[in-house]
Chain A
Amino acid sequence: MSWFGYDKQTKFGVTRVYLKPGVDISFAALAYGIVMLVIGLAAVNTQTNLLFGVLGLMAGVLVIAGLLSMVMVRRIGIRRQMPEFLAVGQEDTLTYRLSNSKRFWPSFSVSLGELDGCAAFEHQPYAYMLHAGPGSTVDVRTRILPHRRGIYQLRRYQVSTSFPLGFIKLAAVAEQEDTIVVFPALAKVHQRVLMMCQSAESTGSPMRPQQGGQDEFYGVKEYRLGEDPRWISWKRSARTGTLVVREMTRVSPPRLILLVDTASDGSAQGDLVSVERSIAMAGSLASHALEKGYPVGLCAWNDGWLQLSPRRGKRQRLDILTALARLPHNHHHGADELLAAAQTLAQTGSTRVLFTHRPMGDSRRSGLLILTSTSPLAESLFAFSKEVDFSHCMPGGDEAVVVGPVAPEAARIVRT
């Protein structure tokens, strides 16, 4: 059995979680025992005193190896440091800070394996610490590649070592609760998409001036204390005898309301893939548009209609991507219901962008842009990383497989 099963990845994106037994006698110990036996027999048979010494030496090494293995994993404080957000298909690192609080003993060859929340990742997160001197702190990092969106809890992890000689493998389970949000895969969005969104808006000017900007002249007003004196219009003030300031406008882009159609009958694997692709496209556009300063809102079915009003900013990006990360598939609420539900969000200057996997006929209705995830156009507009496999991006750990002697509660927790 592999120590941690990185060399094996199962089909359908199932992540194997290896839980090792608390104490394991290795094959090396068996071989060592056989050599000891041979030397012991030679010693007894030939009565060679040196061989008795060698026999004792080997027995001592065996015993001290077991004791040292216990020492290696004792009094090691471990803190998991992880990014708050990840995106499917985007490689990142998970950092473990190991503090060896022993006064005298160093720790060698300590392995760390996550037990819970591994379904989010391509492999069970695994880190290896070569050495931590007494009283020192070491950061070890591991590469993680999320392949499922969703919110996951990393709680239990297993610390193990086979040092010094690999005869005895000791493992212990510890806990630290952390939550990680895995966003849908984020693609590189073509600039045409935003242009399409602007052109889809037909209720008026695509650029709506608002007070408070710095783009165009709007008018003048009386100066009030605290306003920037650079905006004072001195000519006008001289003429009127009162201090007046210029008031500028802000040109506002259209509001985008992303409508994500997650309805599928679930009978075909292709439907699931297309829905996941729609969600990822929505997330990619939301991220891209918010970075460009567009107000973005969201409407989708999430055991009820989820509606997020269009806003700008990082917080809005976080909210939208988190909502998309948790978005389930549904069987009953299709695109028509979605469009109806989104009416409450529709305002003047808003562009609704519908992400669906089903062809909807005319893709350019008034104020509505329809992007079909299965269309070649969508593929050309959203360039996803090759690491992304939409066939198993759906959230949840139900498909995670636990290999090895796993306690029932461990299996249950893994499946959260």
Chain B
Amino acid sequence: MNQPDLRVTIGGLVFKNPVLTASGTFGYGQEFAPYVNLHHLGGVVVKGISLAPRRGNPPPRLVETTGGMLNAIGLENVGLDRFIAEKMPYLREIGTRVIVNILGDSLEEYQTLAQRLSEVEGVSALEVNISCPNVKKGGVAFGTDPAMAEAVTRAVCAGSNLPVIVKLSPNVTDITLIAKAVEAGGAQAVSLINTLLGMAIDIRSRRPRLANIVGGLSGPAIKPIALRMVWQVAQAVKIPVIGIGGITTTEDALEFLLAGATAIEIGTANFINPRASQEIVEGLARYVTDNRLAGISAVIGGLVLS
């Protein structure tokens, strides 16, 4: 029997299947090698990289909530130089696409990251985390203002010949406005959603459970919100949408594809089941075969409304 065709195209790049791993939940790939055949995945999105290393937030950084978890890791990462020197040699050999998630404090930092990473062999695309505060503009997050989101997209696209995916924050009133802005700024795709801001309190000590007070909610609890936003954005833009948010099973992944996502990213599920991403690839293959579809692309945007 022929292998089912799971290929999808984003920003001119062909991915062998639509299953990627979400930044910050899959380390630099190597951490999952004992559990997953990395080359079976559509791609690996690595932990967000800044120009200089970042320490991240003080602990406690993590708390479990009903059907989800809150994190305030604070973008801890090894920084660009060590990423290129220590992590890329391994990533070049994993046999799938490597997408580097980037983050910065200023337009200049984003652009420099884009320029430097464009010259690195083995990087397939950039994913831009715009949920960070713009230090030079009073700390307002790039991702919550359409004009700033567009500006950061332009800065990255000007600095790079790689396909640029912009990762959208859900902590806005109308995510389609941000999606349209980054499309206008030259993004080849959008990925959504990043985590939802949340909070948890220890009633005995009356203290917040996170040292950072607030953190990002992820996991199955956020899936309906993510799915709704993916569907809205898929209507609003012409560029491909990558769906993220609580995807834990093949059925979850199919929902996002039906809502209009061209690909999906597996996040918190990697923590619960380190083999989740590979199992979802296998599940999508079975779905295509069992339903005698020409390929997974026959599912994308297949939501029936009437």
Whether chains A and B associate is no
Q: Which residues of A contact B (CB under 8 A)?
A: none
